[in-house]
Chains A and B, each alone.
Chain A
Amino acid sequence: MTSAATRRRVGHAAATVLFLAVFTHALPAAAQELVREPAYRAFPLIGSRLAVWAVAQLHLNFAAFILGVPVFAVIIEIIGWWTGDPKYDWLSHEFVKLVFAAFSTTALLGALLLFLFVGFYPRFWAFMTNIFVTTYWIYALLFFAETFSVYLWYYGWNWLSGPRKWLHVSLGVVSNLFGIAILFIANSWLTFMMSPTGITESGALKGSVWGAIHNATWMPINVHRLIANLVFGGTIAGAYAAFRFLNAETDDERARYDWMGYIANFVALSAFIVLPFAGYWLGREIYAFNQTMGITMMGGFMSWLWIIQAILIGVLFFGNNYYLWLGMERIPGSERYRKYIPYMLSILALGFMVWATPHSLIVTLQEARAMGGTHHPLLGVFGVMSAKNTAVNLMILTTFLSYVLYRRANKLSIRSWVLTGMAVQWAAFVVAAAIVVFYGVYGYFVESIVRIGFSVYQVGAVLGAIVLVMTIDVPMFRGARSTGPIRWGQIPPRSQYVLILLAVTFTWLMGLMGFARSGIRQYWHVYGVMRDTSVDAVTPALGYASNMITLVTIVFFAFVMFIFWLGGLSERGEAGAHAPVVAPTGAGSRAPRR
């Protein structure tokens, strides 16, 4: 045997021993590793994804409610403090009471969601924790701070009244600031999953956590959700008022909850008018961040969600205007404005049709042959964003006109300049509509990137008209002669079902669009960084998703009904406690049963 052969044999033996040593040591270690940290675990029966989806959506609904309602509750309290009118204080308290009842449910669902992530998506959760661990502590501290301030706000209502009212109002403001900060932190996690930044290729933080927080979609989501929370809070509070109105046993009670429903709907409507602009900004940022994601959302397999969204938004526009028109019945003097309803309704209906015209039509082969392709020469014109932006801006303008007419329904201005003021107001409407239509039509003749920029001019024209009209309207009708007090409570019951419809529609819409936002990541937990390798890494079909969202919406409203019931229950046997239960103007007249 040569020395070279011996050396080779010894080398082989050493390598074998080394391999065996490493293998025998590594195998149990690897096995232990697998046992200790699987990437996924399966939730019984329904699977992990459905469990997370349902709980996340429920948590988000409640969170949106408890973050949205205090924003306008504190504004209403400030109005009450400012004017000295106790009915605003009562209303603000009523709103906070609802928040209070929903607070613990939100926290419970949040904890449940966390357990689901930790238990069923451990590797994903570990990844997120490595990046965002600092924010967890801040989030928890803020949650404590918000809880204590809201509790103090609610329980200190009578204690901090009178000369100490400023302290109470400050508590409301501080609770809102804590709430908004919580929202922004939670948004940083989910937006990071969509548009990750500030990390290395291996997924480690490059610098501070701020790099990951301040990603491309963070601020658009913050703004969009903040506004949407107001709409959502308004619609749910409106549904509560409707629920109480329909169950009311006295005219006073009916008048009170009619007024509450009106205010809640007014809040929802005011925020709803600007919501599409925020949504458009978000969509644009998603597109700019990643073309694939943008096209998946707007032109790819998610595109049909936008038709459902258009129908739901159309229902919201119809519902809001219908509620205002029905409400005019309780206002003496409103008859003079009824003649405008058919025109406003026509604009809304035409806008709704354009908004809901699909870009990619469902056609049979015969229909495609008759059209000369899959694009219809007329409908193709309505299927693009130029037409849709024009339609939605005109619908917003029309809805605002409805509100202006409602607002002045029982008022006759005593200002000498009333004719000039009204002429300027009408001119503002016409000019805004003309600008919207002009840029809508011009958009067909310019390249895409220029057309996208036109939406800013359209939005600017509408918002400008709203500001100008209100700037004139407020002084014009200050101290106006009244044609009679509003007969609160004397509104057809179907108006209250409209309020409930608006709440259900908006909840459903939130679930649907949340699915679109989350679903465009497709098979990624963190887009382009951490792939979803679970058995559920399939984007559900639209029908499946819609059914799921419907189910969650039903469960949410079951919870909400329970909370509404609790809201009424707490009043039993404590009549007079926190009491300005003052009927609003004109209340006390008998409300007819229709």
Chain B
Amino acid sequence: MTLFRSRFLQAAAVVVLAFCALRFGIQPPVPWSVIKIYLFVVLAAVFIYVSSDSDSWRSFLAPIRSTLVDPDRRVLRGALMIVVPLLVGYYAYSQAAARPEAPPELRAVHPAPPASIQFRGKELSIQGLDNPLRKDAATLPKQVAAGGEIYIRNCVYCHGDNLDGHGRFAPALNPPPANFQDPGTIAMLQESYLFWRIAKGGPGLPKESGPWSSAMPAWEDRLDETRIWQVILYLYDATGQHPRRWEAK
């Protein structure tokens, strides 16, 4: 029981448990980049807790000090002097070793749109633009239905029939197609933003944050203005999301 009262072991147990919970307790697995951030927070919190009063801090340090200086811990000390450098060496090797996979990418999910675009020779101001088809509520169901047809004919192959980015082509694409069901995608954006992304596709992405590897085609060559607005209506209708409105001036 004395062993369990050791501050050092308690702290180590919390860190190990946190690691196991983060690594194995959440499905699908949490990416390593996030696990590292979370473990940093856990380590900091544990350090703060054990050192937030002097008794606890002394108790935490006692086994470390004893391992470093006590003559009867010589064997343990020797073992640690072998094991710790080996672990550090393994970590260095694992970070430096070549892996047969693409490196992780630091992507910007929402590239910044331009203030205006040229659409088939016409200048469209993205800033402040609303979907013109929403003005006539009576025809809205018809427009949504038309948008659905356009989606199924053109978009479903990548974005999927559930609009969740799991289309037939999706496994071949990196980055994967956008998941419209996710509250972090179209629900956060104005409809004019979607218009820009659909009209200009991957080739129309801004210079910053490049190089982009979006496979999204520029649909302005195939869809006219009305049809793009129709498919946007469908995206929001089918996912149950609401487009972001412009702030009142």
Contact = CB atoms under 8 A, between A and B. Distances in A.
Q: Which 6 A-B pairs have the closest CB atoms?
A: A299-B110, A447-B242, A448-B244, A362-B33, A301-B209, A296-B112
Contacts of B51: 494
Contacts of A328: 53
Contacts of A288: 247
A195 B243 CA distance: 26
User: Main SS of the interface on chain B?
Assistant: loop
A374 B42 contact: no
A342 interface: yes
Contacts, number: 194
A352 to B, nearest CB: 5
Interface string B161-204: 00011100001001111010011110111100100000000000
Interface string B62-79: 000000000000000000
Interface stretch (A145-153, A364-372, A547-555, A579-587): A364-372
B46 to A, nearest CB: 9
B5 to A, nearest CB: 16
Contact of B34 (A304, A311, A361, A377): A361
Given A304-B106, A356-B37, A364-B103, A447 B187 contact: yes
Given A292-B113, A364-B103, A448-B245, A341 B28 contact: no
B33 A365 contact: no
A22 interface: no
Interface in A272-310: 284, 287-288, 290-293, 295-296, 298-301, 303-304, 307
Given A301-B208, A362-B104, A449-B245, A290 B48 contact: no
A341 B52 CA distance: 9
Interface in A235-269: none
Given A291-B190, A359-B184, A360-B109, A368 B244 contact: no
B52 A365 contact: no
Contacts of B49: 341-342, 345
Nearest to A294: B112
B109 A353 contact: no
A594 B33 contact: no
B31 interface: yes
Contact of A449 (B44, B101, B104, B244): B244
A51 to B, nearest CB: 24
A409 to B, nearest CB: 13
B241 to A, nearest CB: 8
A338 B53 contact: yes
B226 interface: no
A292 B207 CA distance: 13
A214 to B, nearest CB: 15
